[in-house]
Structure 1
């Protein structure tokens, strides 16, 4: 199983803090550094110094790191037009030497749209727009050099596009889709996703939703083995109960609750919990790191958990 680092900068982080986490993750052997794409804090935290843009951050990290993969969980389709987003991701892919991955979803946090003047249509329309965005982005990237791309879409009609620039990774940077939607989510994943991710759900729910996506793959004749299957879980690991309690308090949570709903406890407990997800098909876990100043947390898991995962 691969472990990746996943951050929530809207809760309070500047670029230098994110760079420090990304570099430590790279140095200690994690597979990737991912970040959320939000413009408003959640909960009672201050959120200072304010939000950072996901793709601006990743462009900087593309130049300030060397090996670690970089991506979003998840870019909101409501935030960007698909043509410019395809250009941005391709450019950051080039800046990183081919290390970028695009996680994209419908967008869900209504308040951040209101706070920054971003239209927030109904859920049905957001799914329609996401589906069309996926068609446009993949279509632009797949268009052979020298040819043009047309898309007679409802929301994003495109005519005679040169479909440039191309990303470094071919045929394209990996696309991540995810979530617990029972119908449209599995269908979109079967058609477009290279990875399917479930954030903050139980093993039982993981089994059910992975099954729906596999069924959707079967309906269109796609081999489910072509997808990578992953989870995201909040991390709270410590060498002893005192350290676990300190890390839980730092993020406003209780150790028992985190043990039940996240990835918490001693390194041995964390390894066992990861084994439960691996047993139902999860190949990759994104460790949600909420206290970005606690780089020792990354070091502990790298030293005492990663070597046991094979």
Structure 2
């Protein structure tokens, strides 16, 4: 199994001539990431063996390496690497830009280097290669103490987003000791081939394929125009609860909900009626997501008030207390800090005895405390370390309010671009990335990984305490991406 290196990173190749450095680099990195002193001799001089061009070639190399590191691009430095001052300068430059830096030590036997050199059309002079081999034996012992993140032997490697660095080990754990995990599909775009007229059919096809792929739930955003993190304000964007009602008719078993309903958009009692109706019409599959609402421009566009955050927290807490009363027996009066209802009653009641409530947001002082007190789940964002911290905070809040932490699930929302293999994945990244965004940055933004990468990542999230992952697929214009995601889901069944 290849070793995963973080993207972006700096890779310094170190070893004598004919040790295999260029061959190894070409096998594991795209040509544009490799900065080769030999190739630059051909640029600055008459060919790769033009030793008279070495000074100019190294000047070009240093300039290119500096530019690539400054742009935070993965850079493979293909030289002998035997100059200690140069190596340490490259390491320092990487550190200044916050890039991981690894050295790859090519400890190829001298006899092997000489044999390879004899087979070259342009040979390294024998005395020069002997001097390089002698210097290498000295440099080899220096590398571990120079401060690299890793000193590697030449082996298969892949450069992957940070989220997948530990995926291989987690993948092994999942295969050897499987754990379960629920999956929800997060629908955040509604622009399909064929335009608006094709929306209903495309959405039905995707919903059906999602259930077939093994998704346990379908979620939509509760917005009225597309958010800037995903698309443009004028992109087609469907109203959430109308869409969920349509999905109820298109599906058989998937739970249906918003991630999450903004408490500023609707009267809370009216929201209770909407969710109860969805539950009845879906056969008891409604999930109620709740959050503060954050999109000020959307409120302005629709003429809604956008209260200060403290006022929105008051409404959120009232909603968390009132909604179960609206769905329960009787019709008690409710008097909250921001919401008052003389009779908390509505008919028909939901089919579910208890409609699950998810609080969206990772605020550690207030949001997670409200989730611990009132909700069935808290939905958070962020990397693995962030999720671990949120899980710890949620457990602490549960203890403070006297609630069993097992009663409040942790869920996680993220984007996932899934490829069946590295080649397909690279093609997806190239096709989907914005024109001016470099592939590595886009891959990190959408968690671009293979099926195995994602199995490992989701296993790590499960180990951190996540019970359900909500996944946005950035290439979901037709059902095909769901077939790739199905392979990930199958690993947790």
Does structure 1 residue 192 correspond to structure 2 residue 374?
yes
Pairs within 5 Å for 1:186-265: 186-199=368-381, 201-248=382-429, 249-250=431-432, 252=434, 256-257=440-441, 260=444, 262-265=446-449
Q: 1:264 to 1:61 in 2, by over 3 A?
A: same
Report the equivalent of 1:307. Answer: 490
Gaps of 5+ in 2: 1-180
Deviation at 1:28, TM superposition (A): 2.0
Deviation at 1:261, TM superposition (A): 5.2
Compute the RMSD of aligned alpha carbons. Answer: 2.1
- Please, what TM-score do these two structures have when normalized by structure 1? 0.90
Report the equivalent of 2:334. Answer: 151
Deviation at 1:46, TM superposition (A): 4.2
- Which structure carries more relative contact order (alpha carbon 8 Å, separation 6+)? 1
8 Å CA contact 1:149–1:163 kept in 2: the answer is no
Report the equivalent of 1:30. Answer: 215
Deviation at 1:181, TM superposition (A): 0.7
State how far apart, in whole Å, the 2-side matches of 1:120 and 1:177 are: 19
Q: 1:213 to 1:258 in 2, by over 3 A?
A: farther
Report the equivalent of 2:267. Answer: 81
Deviation at 1:228, TM superposition (A): 1.9
Task: Choose from 163, 180, 187 the match for 2:362.
Answer: 180
Report the equivalent of 1:72. Answer: 258
Deviation at 1:11, TM superposition (A): 7.0
Deviation at 1:211, TM superposition (A): 1.1
Deviation at 1:47, TM superposition (A): 5.4
Report the equivalent of 1:129. Answer: 315
What are the Cα deviations for residues 112-171 of structure 1, in whole angstroms up to 9, with x where unaligned?
A: 1111112111111111111111111122123x2xx322112242211134343311100x
State how far apart, in whole Å, the 1-side matches of 2:478 and 2:427 are: 11
Report the equivalent of 1:278. Answer: 462
**Worse overlay, 67-76 or 37-46:** 37-46
Report the equivalent of 1:6. Answer: 186
8 Å CA contact 1:15–1:52 kept in 2: the answer is no
8 Å CA contact 2:213–2:489 kept in 1: the answer is no
Does structure 1 residue 140 correspond to structure 2 residue 326?
yes
Report the equivalent of 2:451. Answer: 267
8 Å CA contact 1:237–1:244 kept in 2: the answer is yes
State how far apart, in whole Å, the 2-side matches of 1:95 and 1:127 are: 30
- Please, what TM-score do these two structures have when normalized by structure 2? 0.58
Deviation at 1:97, TM superposition (A): 0.3
Deviation at 1:206, TM superposition (A): 0.7
Does structure 1 residue 20 correspond to structure 2 residue 20?
no
Number of aligned pairs? 304
State how far apart, in whole Å, the 2-side matches of 1:131 and 1:48 are: 33
